[in-house]
Amino acid sequence: MASSRARNNEEQQLQIHLITKQSQFAVPDTPYTIQSNVTTTELNNLVNTLLEASQNEMYSETEFDFLVKGEFLKTNLAKHLKDREISFEDVIDVEYVERFPAPEPIDCLLHDDWVAAVQSYGEWILTGCYDNSVNIWNMKGEHKLTLSGHDGPCSSVAWISLNEDSGIGLFASGSKDQIIKIWEWNCHQNKAQCIFTCKGHERAIECISVSPNGKHIASGGWDNFLKVWSASTLDETTGSGSSKKVKTDEANVRTPISTLEGHKEAISSVHWIDNGTILSSSWDHTMKIWDLNMRALKNEIAGNKSFFDVSYSHLNGLIIAASADKNLRLFDPKSNQGTIVKSTFLGHNQWVSSVRWSKTEEFLFISGSYDNAVKLWDYRSPKAPLFDLVGHEDKVMAVDWSNPKYMVSGGADNSVRIFKSRKVLEE
């Protein structure tokens, strides 16, 4: 009987209301009667037929995704409604959005060792390697510079600033040698040197991050401490331009401005929510939000597995966390209704090592895993990624989406992979 009822549900007709927030794709505001077992293919045909009829020769066929109750339709409509206990008797609101196009593979940048860290800034890419080196590349795949100076694998890199007019860039690198180095790079002359050495961690550094205003660096590591450093080229005691006076003086050592204690195991990632607030994650199964003005813990979010990486979105205020149980989770740190975990994303089959939000698309993020895969997600589709970005032949150790045009990843196959957004290409 149960299977008979399910079959009848899929064979019956129902009414839908097609809605979109993209006004250029709006169709007449009226209910449409369809078979309940339609898929996105049939719904695409319906919307395109309606648009073609209303826009005539001006319209070119477009691919859409469809949402019901805020979640992408991945099965036929009847099953989607049944799984969510939505009545077939109601008029169903079906929202449609232009489908995000598959990213295009651009290049593979080969290194001499594992790539543990990667971050882009405009057309430039910083990488940190297990051979202790920091490297600068451009998006054309050209290697510009290799910097040595660390005595251990470079675990994290972060741009501080880059002035295209003067050609002067500042960036930081953190290493398992317990040291952060601040570098000054003259991109016109293609020369770089360490201008400050930051010392204070007692064990390997795992992560660094630069504040939105470029004034401070946050770092975390295997000593369980969160530390904050000055990223300014000015001497904080004199206000003078130290970089011009002692550019190559390794004795120009900086100590932390603040040391924040609270994590019980290694800190795996740090990110700035704003210039006075830091988000950290740890192997101790917690994320912590810190108030730097008060030098105190503002909020703690507990999980049931170690957190390997987190990313905070300034577009939606949400956190994506990567964990040891192969899953990604969406957290709303401001939620006061029900669980703070809003969705769980299934798709990787090994540890998820790295995750980053898009800077321009509020629903999109990428993840990298020890299963060699990079995946592009829309948080309205928790059961399946939008696309698999293939190419890595060993575990993925870092992903980055700092430049909206490019998704970048580094791995234990000694390579950096670059994918370009075809949405950018089409625009």
| Nearest in space to 398 (alpha carbons), one of 181, 104, 130 | 130
Q: What is this structure's pTM?
A: 0.90
3-state secondary structure 107-121: EEEECCCCEEEEEEE
Per the CB < 8 A criterion, the answer to whether 310 and 279 are in contact is yes
Could you give the CA distance from residue 140 to residue 138 in angstroms, rounded to a whole number? Answer: 5
Q: Is the pLDDT of residue 1 over 80?
A: no
Which part of the chain is CATH 3.10.20.90? 2-98
Query: How much is the pLDDT for 234?
Result: 67
Q: Which whole number is the average pLDDT over 70-97? A: 92
pLDDT band for position 239 (50/70/90)? very low
Query: How much is the pLDDT for 240?
Result: 39
Token pair for 145? 């510079």
pLDDT tens digits for 192-232?
A: 999 999 999 999 999 999 999 999 999 999 999 999 999 98
Q: Is the pLDDT of residue 7 over 70?
A: no
Residue 145: how many other CB atoms lie within 10 Å: 15
Collect contacts of 364-367 with beta carbons under 8 A, ≥24 apart: 364/100, 365/311, 365/313, 365/320, 365/401, 366/399, 366/401, 366/407, 366/409, 367/320, 367/322, 367/328, 367/399
Token pair for 255? 């100590």
Dihedral pair phi/psi, residue 218, rounded to 5°: -105, 145
pLDDT tens digits for 89-146?
A: 889 999 999 999 999 999 999 999 999 999 999 999 999 999 999 999 999 999 999 9
Q: Which whole number is the average pLDDT over 75-95? A: 92
Q: Which whole number is the average pLDDT over 170-194? A: 96
Which part of the chain is CATH 2.130.10.10? 104-426
**Which uninterrupted H or E stretch holds 97?**
strand 92-98
Query: How much is the pLDDT for 142?
Result: 95
Residue 200: how many other CB atoms lie within 10 Å: 19
| Mean pLDDT (the chain, rounded) | 91
Per the CB < 8 A criterion, the answer to whether 415 and 127 are in contact is no
With H, G, I as helix, E, B as strand and everything else as coil, classify residue 48: helix
Percent of the chain scored above 70 by pLDDT? Answer: 91
Number of alpha helices (DSSP H) and beta strands (DSSP E) in the chain:
5, 34
Beta bridge partners of 218: 209, 228
Pairing of strands 71-72, 64-68: antiparallel
Could you give the CA distance from residue 85 to residue 68 in angstroms, rounded to a whole number? Answer: 12
CA 53 from centre of chain: 40
- Least confident among 112-116, 239-243, 383-387: 239-243
pLDDT band for position 383 (50/70/90)? confident
> What separation in angstroms does the CA of 34 have from each of 37, 67, 82?
9, 16, 16
Token pair for 167? 């050609």
Query: How much is the pLDDT for 114?
Result: 98
Q: Which residue bears the tokens 């949400």?
A: 318
Beta-carbon contacts of 314 under 8 Å, excluding residues fewer than 6 positions away, are: none
pLDDT band for position 339 (50/70/90)? confident
Q: Which residue bears the tokens 């972060």?
A: 158
Q: Which whole number is the average pLDDT over 272-279? A: 97
Q: Is the pLDDT of residue 407 over 80?
A: yes
Could you give the CA distance from residue 369 to residue 375 in angstroms, rounded to a whole number? Answer: 9
Q: Which whole number is the average pLDDT over 361-382? A: 96
Q: Which whole number is the average pLDDT over 150-164? A: 95
Q: Which CATH architecture best describes the domain 104-426?
A: 7 Propeller (2.130)
Per the CB < 8 A criterion, the answer to whether 168 and 184 are in contact is yes
Residue 88: how many other CB atoms lie within 10 Å: 16
- Least confident among 24-28, 163-167, 239-243, 398-402: 239-243
Q: Which whole number is the average pLDDT over 393-406? A: 97
Beta bridge partners of 128: 117, 134
pLDDT band for position 238 (50/70/90)? very low
Q: Which whole number is the average pLDDT over 227-249? A: 60
Q: Is the pLDDT of residue 170 over 70?
A: yes
Residue spans of alpha helices (H) in 228-375: 242-245
| Nearest in space to 329 (alpha carbons), one of 318, 313, 338, 337 | 318
Query: How much is the pLDDT for 338?
Result: 66
Q: Which CATH architecture best describes the domain 2-98?
A: Roll (3.10)
